Amino acid sequence: MSISKCLIAEEYRELVRRSSWKFGRPQVMEIGLRYFEEHPEEVSQIASNLRYMGLSDSGSDLNAVLEGIVAHYYEKLFVLVKTYETYWIAKNRIDIGDSLEPFREARETGKAVFIGQAHFGATYLMAGALAVHGLDQHVVGYFPEPVGGMLQESGRVLSERYQAGHTRVLNLAHAEVDVPLEMMQLLSRKKILSNVYDENNKFCKRVTLLGKPLMGGTGMDLILRNFSDEKVIVVTPFLVRTSDETFRYELDRHRLADGDIIASAFRSLERRVREHPEQWYFIRELHESFPRSEVQ
């Protein structure tokens, strides 16, 4: 059992389904924090990961991190079961600023957009943040059922019922999907493609974050080396929580011609982790990305 497996249970999906954000969020927050109280070994691992990264693991700082992790899982449940409400939140509670400019440029100049996404902030609302502005996108991720099917259905309903952009999930949990090939084809066809870059897989290489070594990249450099800035715009967005119910969409742009695109993406992540360490929910499983030489 882990907090992610605990909170995805049907009883909690139903709780969120029947409750508004105002009443459902505090209930899930309470349930999640109680879970941590009952599983001190998970809290100990999170504290150890914070120490590895040189971040504070004491008192209110650790509590803020635990609350940020639970907030992430509430948002995940909300997106899975509350389609219209997700549309409304994305439309009315996200300050998008000027972050749509690279997408407008891509449309006007005939370029693809590659979105490098990190496990930080309100990630499950990020697709909706673009969809409500009419942007179609393809999202790569590992989404075991029931999550994968629910995300696919939510994206379909948002598009068909509310005239939002369409979000298609390329699910790594489905072995029959040739994801690298599809990614290459989508970029060649000038589409918007999103993929995470900060978790560990067999295509990762050694990177540095906050001065500490990690494994990252997920092979996105192997995809992007086939393209240039004249063909693909590369961005790293972050949906930062500004309150319990409001968000700010921040976006950094990266140039393939400048060299190491993964290092550039991790510099963007580092800035946000320094500013909002409590919103870096990947800290829960960060030890899985430690280089073997660092594991004692």
Contact (Cβ atoms closer than 8 angstroms) between residue 187 and residue 227: yes
DSSP conformational letter for 252: E
Cis peptide before 146 (omega within 30 of 0): yes
How many helices (H) and strands (E) the chain has is answered by 12, 9
Which whole-number Å values give the CA distances from 87 to 57, 128, 146, 159, 282, in the listed order?
Answer: 36, 7, 21, 10, 25
pTM: predicted TM-score of the whole model, two decimal places: 0.94
Tokens of 287: 């030890």
Q: Say what percent of the chain tops pLDDT 90.
A: 85
> pLDDT tens digits for 93-114?
999 999 999 999 999 999 999 9
Residue 208 has pLDDT above 80, yes or no: yes
Q: Give ∠ CA 42-12-121 in degrees, rounded to 5.
A: 60
Phi, then psi, of 230 in degrees rounded to 5: -75, -15
Which whole-number Å values give the CA distances from 75 to 83, 93, 144, 202, 276, in the listed order?
Answer: 12, 13, 17, 29, 18
> pLDDT tens digits for 114-166?
999 999 999 999 999 999 999 999 999 888 888 888 888 888 888 888 889 99
For residue 152, the model assigns a pLDDT of: 84
* Mean pLDDT, rounded, for 9-16: 96
For residue 148, the model assigns a pLDDT of: 81
> pLDDT tens digits for 45-72?
999 999 999 999 999 999 999 999 999 9
Q: Any residues with CB less than 8 A from the CB of 11 and at least 6 apart, and which?
A: none
Range of the domain at 159: 3-294
Q: Say what percent of the chain tops pLDDT 70.
A: 99
DSSP conformational letter for 242: S
Residue 296 has pLDDT above 60, yes or no: no
Q: How far apart are CA 178 and CA 102, in angstroms?
A: 28
Q: How far apart are CA 156 and CA 167, in angstroms?
A: 7
Domain count along the chain: 1
* Mean pLDDT, rounded, for 219-246: 97
> pLDDT tens digits for 164-201?
999 998 888 787 778 889 999 999 999 999 999 999 99
